[in-house]
Structure 1
C-alpha cells in the first residue's frame, strides 16, 4: 500500500505542473492565478518529496539514472 500511495503522489506532483500550464486559459484574475499557482507549486513539491520518502532510495536512484542520460548530474572536471 505504501508503494501505491508513493506512486500516486509522484504522478500527482507532475499533474500539478500540468494544472499550472492550464491556468492562463481560465478566466481568473491575476491575484487568483498567482495564488493558485503558488499553491500548486508548493503542493506539487510536497507531494514529490513525500513520494520519494515512501518509495525509497531505489526509486530515487532510478530517477537519477534517468536524468543522468541528459547530463543533469554530471560533475565538471
Structure 2
C-alpha cells in the first residue's frame, strides 16, 4: 500500500513522433505527494521520454516498451 497520496500537478507534452508502429513522446512533468501519516508535502519534476509500440492486444492500441526519466536540476 502506498504511504503517500500522489498526483500529477502538471504533465506537458513537448513532442510526439509517430513512425509506423513506433511512437516516441517527450514531456515535462511535476508530481506532488503528501504522506498519509502526516509530514511535509513533496514534489518531484523533470522530463520523460516514452517509447510506444503499436499493440493490437492492448486496450489503447499501444504498449510502453521503454520509459526514461530525467529529474529536473
TM-score, structure 1 length as denominator?
Answer: 0.19
Larger proportion of helix: 1
Larger proportion of strand: 2
Q: Which has the higher contact order (CA 8 A, sep 6+)?
A: 1
TM-score, structure 2 length as denominator?
Answer: 0.19
